[in-house]
Amino acid sequence: MEKKWVYSFAEGDGKNKQLLGGKGANLCELTQSGIRVPPGFVITTEACLSYLNDPHRTLPHDLMEQVKTHLRSVEEAMHRRFGEKKKPLLVSVRSGSAMSMPGMMDTILNLGLNQDTLEGLIHDTGNERFCYDAYRRFIQLFGKVALGVPDELFDEAFEQIKKQAQVTQDIDLSARDLKDICKKFLQVVERYTAKPFPHDPNEQLEIAIKAVFNSWMGKRAVDYRREFKITPEMANGTAVNIVAMVFGNMSNNSATGVGFTRDPGTGENVIFGEYLVNAQGEDVVAGIRTPKPLAAMADEMPGIFKELMELRNSLESHFKEVQDFEFTIEEGVLYCLQTRNGKMNATAMVRTSVEMVHEGLIDKNQALLRIKPDMLEQLLFPRLDPHTDMQPVAKGLAASPGGASGIAIFDADRAEKMGHNGHKVILVREETKPEDIHGFFASQGILTSRGGKTSHAAVVARGMGKPCVAGAEGITVDVKLRQAIIGEVRISEGDIITIDGSTGAVYLGEVPLIDAEFSSDLVTLLSWADEKARLLVMANADTPADAKRALKFGAMGIGLCRTERMFNDPARLPIVIDMIIADTKEEREKALDKLLPIQRDDFKNIFSIMAPRPVTIRLLDPPIHEFLPQEQQLIDEIDILRNLRKNLRGLRVLSDTVSFMYQNDPAHPKVLTPADPELLDAVILKKEMMLSKVRSLHEVNPMLGHRGVRLGLTFPEIYSMQIRAILEAAAECRKEGIDVHPEIMIPQVCTAQELNRVKEWVAEIHKQVEDAYGLKISCSFGSMLEVVRACMRAENLAEEAEFFSFGTNDLTQATFSFSREDAENKFLPMYNMNHILQDNPFEVLDVKGVGKLMELAVQWGRTTRPGMKVGICGEHGGHPASIEFCHQIGLTYVSCSSPRVPIARLAAAHAAIKSG
Ligand code: PEP
Ligand code: MG
């Protein structure tokens, strides 16, 4: 049997976009649902692939035969003949693959015109001007897209005639002028291609079909597919749509327009769009004449407007989706030329989802599935006005979404000061450290020239919901000179800059912002998501303020409270430093005794805010040197202090000598000493102790060194203090009748013995606290899984741990042996560009490697402890594709930064609906 390459709109399967392309499939759907579409047919993507795979680029041998057969049917439907002088049929030729894809061939209109058919058309319409206008458009479009003639050659010829005719507007050209233009255009083509313009409509059609097929492999289309990761499974080859021409420019009873079935800006249920009387489609787009809003048609063409509203209703009830459609009215008859799902902003998507459910048009599953979870980001952060024409001066990594403007400030102390004085500040650093935290609080956003998406700046900014652009390597930050250099541009302290943490762009000056909108529609939609989802969604939140925000975004608990942020508070840092530099257990305990009530208050606050939801607290994780200043800074400071001590001693000598010289003079001059040298000695001693500690704590690779549970086991007092603070806070809450569920989580674990030791401390302190308060406290004990060995030993670990939480930031680092801090701006972009790795594994969970480890660990953990609670708290916990994977391997919850909680809730619902 012969292969079928061509399907009429009446027979093609409207669901088969792979075969017929999106446009073709939709035209089949429209035709078959009784909506008036000009007759036509689709040549399949299979024909395209067969042509492209042929070394001589010949069309499948029977393709043109099939095309001709279908053309006969179109001729019959239109009562016109293709290529005949009498009542000629003209067609449009359009590309269309399974995915809508700019970069492929543009539409060719009016194909089939030549001197003969033109005469026929003039005879039919009695409108010479219209016909020459159609002809000149055809020659140019065909010349450009099918024969490769540059547009400028046509434009030059066109302008020449306009000049001769002394007109400025195309509309003022007469039929004669247009006839001259056609003549000139034919010469342009002949000169450029060294061949006459093809006269035979069948030849025109064959050339056009080949041109559409070739455009699939055109540079623009290939680049587009690469950029947007369109794989052959998603779209392979382009279809060709051949459609009978209908004319919106035939008379004043004709028109052309574009419409949205609802307002794509707000989602309001009103028709939206524009039209032009007596015009062809491209006039609306080209902006030559100003179109009118569709609402005006109600007065101008009331009968047609009624039909248009019926068309709108049919489109929505058929496609169950807001449609973006094109139409033409030829002599009072309305045709729908094309339709596709309307692209809308997030506000409109959410509103239309909720309203379409209320109208009974779609069900809740459809309402949830039609919104890509990441889209909600637009609603959760202030963002840059998309209409800005300002150009970025640099690009970094989109590390924490949202837009922010402010004055550039190059150190955290000044940022804090300026922030408190009411200035909007962007903290600009080479990279940030825990001691910069107060600068984060006071800033609108953070810009760093080093570090990746899981760098300190990125993680902290995301946790706070502040925009951050990280690793903007095109920027050289000079903190000492308080300036940043970007190519020729210099940003000095105090200059206004804008960062876009959603794209990584950096602007000089202020770009207007659009506010975040957490609407009641969004609340409704997310409540539906929670009904459908199986995964729970927790937040990563470290402070009471974070916890409040997490609740606002609908978090069902806290999945990760990183206690190091509490240590970094400027009021506490001195105590933390005392604890670190302590030489004896007693000295360390003295400092810890001061920290205990502070931590207890933090936990009590967080528990009360989140009650009755669970709160997972992770004991201290980072290497402790991170709380101390850097070695060079201490060396510089000690140097300055020693010089000062010398000067002070000089002043003391001067003062003593003056007193001695003038001792009998009651009004003798006095020398003031500005500081007490003893105090200075004490300060220098402290700094020297810090320096010696910094040196003794130095590690070649701190991220793989003395941190997490290893640190906890070396300094048991630190973990004991934290455990006591958690349990006492829980006891105080219980006493006040607050229902709390603390969970203690141990970081960086690799053996069950590590867990076992800490668990013994927990049991001992638990008993002490229960005895002291005279009540029972429930508290569970669990482990992070962020070390490869921990995953491999999950079966053993589960004997000690009641729950697991995958720390996929570290687990990704450990599985790939890629440094979290360096990979993202050193070699990962090159890896992605060259397809060595498809995605950035610190952003999109590497399902094949890291995911495999997770899957095994879940299975093994639950062998020991059936139904064990297992979650994820790395950055992947807020990424939709990773969430789908977490659902598939049976995790209990995902935990992510607060502003991603709504995105995760929607993604969790998607995963549940898709898996049935
Ligand atoms: C992790 O490693 O995924 C994690 C959550 O811990 P952190 O990012 O604090 O190391
Ligand atoms: Mg970690």
- Can you spell out the DSSP letters for 721-779? HHHHHHHHHHHHHHHTT---EEEEEESS--SHHHHHHHHHHHHHHHHHHHHHHTS----
CB of 117 sitting under 6 A from ligand 1: no
pLDDT value, residue 908: 98
Q: Which of 453, 558, 810 to mutate to test the pocket of ligand 1 (most atoms within 8 A of CB)?
A: 810
CA-proximal residue: ligand 1, atom 8 (nearest): 809
Cα distance between residue 257 and residue 285, in whole Å:
9
pLDDT value, residue 1: 65
CA-proximal residue: ligand 1, atom 4 (nearest): 807
Cα distance between residue 753 and residue 511, in whole Å:
55
> Residue 685: is its pLDDT beyond 70?
yes
Cβ pair 444, 406 in contact under 8 A: yes
Cα distance between residue 506 and residue 498, in whole Å:
6
Contacts 24+ apart (CB under 8 A), 790-794: 790/749, 790/750, 790/857, 791/853, 791/854, 791/856, 791/857, 792/853, 792/856, 792/857, 793/750, 793/751, 793/752, 794/856, 794/857, 794/858, 794/860, 794/861
**Greater confidence, 457 or 97?**
97
Query: Ligand 2 centre and the CA of 426: distance in Å?
Result: 27
**Greater confidence, 759 or 453?**
759
> Residue 435: is its pLDDT beyond 80?
no
Query: Ligand 1 centre and the CA of 807: distance in Å?
Result: 5
Both tokens of residue 500? Answer: 């876009």
Q: Give the whole-number percent of the chain exceeding pLDDT 90.
A: 65
Give the closest ligand to the alpha carbon of residue 809.
1
pLDDT value, residue 182: 96
Q: Which of 455, 431, 390, 369 is nearest to 875 (CA)?
A: 455
Confidence tier at 103 by pLDDT (50, 70, 90): low
> Residue 396: is its pLDDT beyond 70?
yes
pLDDT value, residue 434: 72
Cα distance between residue 28 and residue 46, in whole Å:
17
Q: Helix, strand, coil: what percent of the chain each, to 5?
A: 50, 15, 35
Buried b (16+ CB within 10 A) or exposed e, 715-730: bebbbbbbbbbbbbbb
- The atom of ligand 1 lying closest to the CA of 807 is 3
Of the listed ranges 80-94, 607-621, 657-671, the one predicted with least confidence: 657-671
CB of 565 sitting under 6 A from ligand 1: no
Amino acid at 603: F
Residue 674 burial (CB count, 10 A): 8
**Greater confidence, 731 or 627?**
731
pLDDT value, residue 2: 81
CB of 542 sitting under 6 A from ligand 1: no
Q: Which of 745, 711, 708, 720 is nearest to 895 (CA)?
A: 745
Cβ pair 220, 105 in contact under 8 A: no
Residue 325 burial (CB count, 10 A): 24
Whether the bond between 612 and the residue before it is cis, its omega within 30 degrees of 0, is yes
Q: Bin 422: left if φ > 0, else alpha if -120 < ψ < 50, else beta.
A: left
User: Is residue 134 helix, strand or coil?
Assistant: helix
User: Is residue 442 helix, strand or coil?
Assistant: helix
Query: Ligand 1 centre and the CA of 748: distance in Å?
Result: 9
CB of 895 sitting under 6 A from ligand 1: no
pLDDT value, residue 538: 98
pLDDT tens per residue, range 107-153: 888 999 999 999 999 998 888 988 999 999 999 999 998 999 998 99
Query: Ligand 1 centre and the CA of 823: distance in Å?
Result: 16
Confidence tier at 582 by pLDDT (50, 70, 90): confident
User: Is residue 450 helix, strand or coil?
Assistant: coil
Interval 507-517 mean pLDDT: 87
pLDDT tens per residue, range 13-41: 999 999 999 999 999 999 999 999 999 99
pLDDT tens per residue, range 89-102: 999 999 999 987 76
Q: Which of 436, 463, 506 is nearest to 900 (CA)?
A: 463
CB of 466 sitting under 6 A from ligand 1: no
User: Is residue 8 helix, strand or coil?
Assistant: strand
Interval 387-412 mean pLDDT: 90
What 3 state SS string does 481-516 have?
CCEEEECCEEEECCCEEEEECCCCEEEECCCCEECC
Order of strands across the sheet that contains 323-330:
292-293, 272-277, 255-260, 323-330, 333-341
Residue 194 burial (CB count, 10 A): 7
> Residue 213: is its pLDDT beyond 60?
yes
pLDDT tens per residue, range 308-353: 999 999 999 999 999 999 999 998 999 999 888 888 888 899 999 9
Cα distance between residue 777 and residue 738, in whole Å:
11
Segment (H or E) for 833 = helix 828-833
- The atom of ligand 1 lying closest to the CA of 813 is 2
Q: Which of 326, 72, 52, 61 is nearest to 212 (CA)?
A: 52
Amino acid at 788: V
Q: Which of 565, 815, 873, 897 to mutate to test the pocket of ligand 1 (most atoms within 8 A of CB)?
A: 873
Confidence tier at 444 by pLDDT (50, 70, 90): very high
> Residue 765: is its pLDDT beyond 60?
yes
Q: Give the whole-number percent of the chain exceeding pLDDT 70.
A: 98
CB of 562 sitting under 6 A from ligand 1: yes
CB of 873 sitting under 6 A from ligand 1: yes
> Residue 8: is its pLDDT beyond 70?
yes
> Residue 170: is its pLDDT beyond 80?
no
pLDDT value, residue 392: 92
Strands 88-89 and 255-260: unpaired
> Residue 801: is its pLDDT beyond 90?
yes
Interval 346-363 mean pLDDT: 95
**Greater confidence, 610 or 105?**
610
Residue 755 burial (CB count, 10 A): 23
Question: What's the distance, CA 181 to chain centroid?
Answer: 48
Cα distance between residue 12 and residue 875, in whole Å:
45
pLDDT value, residue 698: 86
362 DSSP 8-state letter = S
Q: Which of 453, 454, 565, 842 to mutate to test the pocket of ligand 1 (most atoms within 8 A of CB)?
A: 454
From first CA to last CA, the distance across the chain in angstroms is: 39
CB of 786 sitting under 6 A from ligand 1: yes
pLDDT value, residue 420: 84
Both tokens of residue 354? Answer: 């909720």
Both tokens of residue 391? Answer: 């150009």
Query: Ligand 1 centre and the CA of 629: distance in Å?
Result: 22
* Inter-CA distances, 874 with 805, 813, 893, Å: 9, 11, 12
CB of 559 sitting under 6 A from ligand 1: no
Segment (H or E) for 831 = helix 828-833
Cα distance between residue 597 and residue 575, in whole Å:
12
pLDDT value, residue 229: 82
pLDDT value, residue 383: 86
CA-proximal residue: ligand 1, atom 1 (nearest): 807
Of the listed ranges 111-120, 197-206, 370-379, the one predicted with least confidence: 370-379
- ∠ CA 119-121-125, nearest 5°, is 125
**Greater confidence, 646 or 453?**
646
pLDDT tens per residue, range 529-548: 999 999 999 999 999 999 99
Give the closest ligand to the alpha carbon of residue 808.
1
pLDDT value, residue 289: 65
Query: Ligand 2 centre and the CA of 786: distance in Å?
Result: 6
Confidence tier at 285 by pLDDT (50, 70, 90): low
Strands 394-395 and 505-508: antiparallel
Give the closest ligand to the alpha carbon of residue 842.
1
CB of 328 sitting under 6 A from ligand 1: no
pLDDT value, residue 126: 84
Q: Which of 543, 616, 495 is nearest to 892 (CA)?
A: 616
Torsion 194-200-203-208 (CA) sign: positive
Question: What's the distance, CA 238 to chain centroid?
Answer: 28
**Greater confidence, 785 or 518?**
785
> Which of the listed ranges 157-171, 402-416, 475-489, 692-706 does the model predict with the highest average pLDDT?
402-416
> Residue 688: is its pLDDT beyond 60?
yes
What CA dihedral angle connects 578, 581, 586 and 587, to 10 degrees?
-40
Both tokens of residue 220? Answer: 């623009």
pLDDT value, residue 218: 85
Both tokens of residue 434? Answer: 């825990």
102 DSSP 8-state letter = B
Of the listed ranges 9-13, 735-739, 800-804, 838-842, the one predicted with least confidence: 838-842
- The atom of ligand 1 lying closest to the CA of 875 is 3
* Catalytic machinery residues: 456, 873
Q: Bin 597: left if φ > 0, else alpha if -120 < ψ < 50, else beta.
A: alpha
> Residue 283: is its pLDDT beyond 70?
no
pLDDT value, residue 284: 60
CB of 455 sitting under 6 A from ligand 1: no
Q: What is the residue-averaged pLDDT of the chain?
A: 91
Torsion 105-69-86-89 (CA) sign: negative
pLDDT value, residue 16: 96
Q: Which of 242, 232, 282, 199 is nearest to 94 (CA)?
A: 242
Q: At what angle do helices 151-165 and 175-193 cross, to 10 degrees?
A: 150
> Residue 673: is its pLDDT beyond 80?
no
